[in-house]
Amino acid sequence: MAWITFCLLYVFWAMAGTSTRAQSSCSVPPEEQPWIDGLQVLMETSVAKSNFVNPSILIAMNLAGPYNLEAQKLLTNKLIASDNADLTKGQLALTIMALTSSCRDTGSQVSILQKKMENWEPSSPGADPSAFYGPSLAILALCQKNSEATLPIAALFAKTLMSDPSPFSVDTEAVATLALTCMYNRIPVGSEENYRDLFGEALKVLVDSISLRIKSDGIIGDIYSTGLAMQALSVTPEQPMKKWDCEKTMDTILKEIKQGKFQNPMSISQILPTLKGKTYLDVPRVTCGPDHGVPPTVNDYPTPVPTSVSNITVIYTINNQLKGVDLTFHWTIEVSVKSGSVLLVVLEEAQRKDSKFKFETKMTSWGLMISSINNIAENANQKTYWQLLSGKTPLNEGAAYYIPSNYEHITANFTQY
Ligand code: B12
């Protein structure tokens, strides 16, 4: 009898571990599907165009079902061949999930990440609101590989998270929710500590906080955190204090897609799973085989309307009050660029007009990041970076995608996170 009970419990646990029980979900209406296909094609096309090996794109592609099998193969092989030595916890976690979604072996990466997380020393409370983003990805990836071995790390993570008073970004809370939901769903029967209560309590804190950031139009945080937040709210076992209207969020996201707000392949990679009814929790369940969706022809989906070619003036200020007392500066320049130009063109024009405005960039998963201006460089150890603002409002896109309007005042401000 005891044996039968054990077997039943095991089956129940195994089923719990493999189901991403959608608490709230909604889908893209069939007539809007061409827009989503268009996004996927845009994201997949970026693979051949860039040398940057982006695991998030492979994850999204495999969750959605790749159209471009060549791109899928190319990215998988590049990831297998890439050197893991200098990867951060978050990058390693994304690599593991990407290779898993392509049904490849991840044994060596998993043991490196496991060790890194066993040695993880949470930063002091309130130190850095984004410090949990990478560790959240790490717990999510490790949970999918070996949830039992991840229990103590996830428990420390959940406790640290709850004791930190600083408000996290919606992006961070969303990934932490996915990670702890994965753990919650895979707690082995008969575990010593009461993990279910602990993870449940942490999840409640996280989803309540996410729900408080739902705007009246359904956007959660900003449009670029909404994809991850939708994934999180659709799988969490804890009900948020403020009810989430998935349909409303979906409607607004579709409107934003039609306005051309999802041009950055990385932004597509974070919204596409939700639009396809998937979440990062589905990564271990991707089936790899010869089957793939029929690629839509390029004309099948609408593209955003092109902008005009008249010139506009942009006011551009660079400000450093942080580094080196004798190095501080606050300079402004006016530049003229073609209407519809991205901010990067403004920065290039400013640099051409006046060498004080010289700048450097570095390639990242989100595209080019402004890493240095007038020889003052960002520094992760000192938590400094160049923040971009329009007036006093921080931009929600980077310089390679943001399109300033006529007489807009853009500031690059050297600051700390
Ligand atoms: C942490 C974080 C930062 C940190 C990164 C440094 C650090 N050591 O952690 C800091 C505070 C510096 C930062 C800066 C900015 N960020 Co930021 N950031 C994030 C966050 C929360 C997590 C990134 C991460 O760790 N990913 C996991 C690791 C494993 O991947 P990774 O590829 O190695 O991560 C690197 C890149 O993401 C890069 N990065 C971070 N933010 C941005 C933004 C842009 C435009 C670029 C090109 C690169 C970049 O820094 C990471 C660490 O090296 C994401 C949220 C998200 N949804 O992705 C937002 C996010 C990527 N950031 C965003 C934005 C808008 C910015 C800023 C433009 C804000 C501003 N107004 O200045 C600036 C960049 C300005 C510049 N100099 O070019 C947006 C991008 C949206 C978009 N469509 O482009 C996101 C999605 C947040 C959001 N929901 O709006 N960010």
Of ligand 1's atoms, which has the minimum distance to the CA of residue 221? Answer: 89
Pocket test for ligand 1, best of 366, 374, 378, 392 (most atoms within 8 A of CB): 366
State the sign of the Cα–Cα–Cα–Cα dihedral 288, 294, 296, 297: positive
In sequence order, what are the residues at sequence separation of 6 or more whose Cβ sits closer than 8 angstroms to the Cβ of residue 76?
58, 98, 99, 102, 104
- Measured between alpha carbons, how far is 391 from 409 in angstroms, rounded to an integer? 6
Nearest CA, atom 7, ligand 1? 380
Sorting pLDDT into bands at 50, 70 and 90, what band is 394?
very high
Q: How far is the CA of 266 from the centre of ligand 1 (A)?
A: 11
**Residue range 188-217: average pLDDT?**
91
| CB of residue 173 inside a 6 A radius of ligand 1 | no
**pLDDT score recorded for residue 327:** 83
Going by C-alpha positions, the residue among 67, 79, 74 that lies closest to residue 47 is 74
Nearest CA, atom 84, ligand 1: 397
pLDDT of residue 127: 66
Using alpha carbons, select from 118, 193, 178 the residue that is nearest to residue 150.
Answer: 118
**For residue 108, with 0-12 CB atoms within 10 Å meaning exposed, 13-18 middle and 19 or more buried, which class applies?**
exposed
pLDDT at 293: 57
- Residue having the nearest C-alpha atom to atom 54 of ligand 1: 171
**pLDDT beyond 50 at 253:** yes
Ligand 1 mean position, distance from CA 367 (Å)? 10
pLDDT of residue 17: 40
Q: Which atom of ligand 1 is nearest to the CA of 224?
A: 89
Is 62 exposed, middle or buried (CB count within 10 Å of its CB: 0-12, 13-18, 19+)? buried
Residue 13 has pLDDT above 70, yes or no: no
Can you tell me the distance from the alpha carbon of 148 to that of 208, in angstroms, rounded to the nearest whole number?
Answer: 27
364 C-alpha to ligand 1 centroid (Å): 9
Residue nearest to atom 12 of ligand 1 (CA): 385
- Distance, CA 398 to ligand 1 centroid (Å)? 9
Does position 61 have pLDDT exceeding 80, yes or no? Answer: yes
Nearest CA to ligand 1 atom 86: 224
**Residue range 232-236: average pLDDT?**
96
* Other C-beta atoms lying within 10 Å of the C-beta of residue 195: 19
Q: What is the mean pLDDT of residues 9-28?
A: 51
User: Ligand 1 in contact with 231 (CB < 6 A)?
Assistant: no
Give the residue, by CA position, lying nearest to ligand 1 atom 2: 130
| Centre of ligand 1 from the C-alpha of residue 386, in Å | 11
133 touches ligand 1 (CB under 6 Å):
yes
Which tens digit of pLDDT belongs to each residue from 95-136? 999 999 999 999 999 999 999 999 998 877 666 767 899 999
Strand order, beta sheet including 376-377 = 359-364, 367-373, 376-377
| pLDDT of 289 | 76
Confidence of residue 191 (pLDDT cuts 50, 70, 90): confident
Whether 11 shows a pLDDT value over 70: the answer reads no
Average pLDDT, the chain: 89
64 confidence band (pLDDT: 50, 70, 90): very high
Q: What percent of the chain has pLDDT over 90?
A: 79
- DSSP codes of every residue in 251-279: HHHHHHHHTT---SHHHHHHHHHHHTT--
CB contact set of 392 (below 8 Å; sequence gap of 6+)? none
Q: Predicted confidence band at 87 (pLDDT cuts at 50, 70, 90)? A: very high
pLDDT for 274 beyond 70:
yes
**CA–CA dist 181, 282 (Å, integer):** 12
Residue 7 pLDDT more than 90?
no
Helix (H, G, I), strand (E, B) or coil at 286: coil
Which atom of ligand 1 is closest in space to residue 383's alpha carbon? 8
Contact yes or no for 354/347 (Cβ under 8 A): no
Q: Which atom of ligand 1 is nearest to the CA of 386?
A: 77
**Single-letter residue type at 19:** S
CB of 388 within 6 A of ligand 1: the answer is yes
Confidence of residue 6 (pLDDT cuts 50, 70, 90): very low
Closest ligand 1 atom to Cα of 264: 83
What is the spatial distance between Cα 322 and Cα 328, in angstroms, rounded to a whole number? 7
Domains for the chain: give ranges and CATH numbers: 16-300 (1.50.10.20), 311-416 (2.170.130.30)
- If you average pLDDT over residues 371-384, what whole number do you get? 94
Find out whether the beta carbon of 370 lies less than 6 Å from any atom of ligand 1.
Answer: yes
pLDDT of 259 higher than 50: yes
Instruction: Please tell me the predicted confidence (pLDDT) of residue 189.
Output: 82
- At residue 251 the predicted structure's pLDDT band, cuts being 50, 70 and 90, is very high
Which ligand 1 atom minimizes the distance to the CA of 399?
A: 78
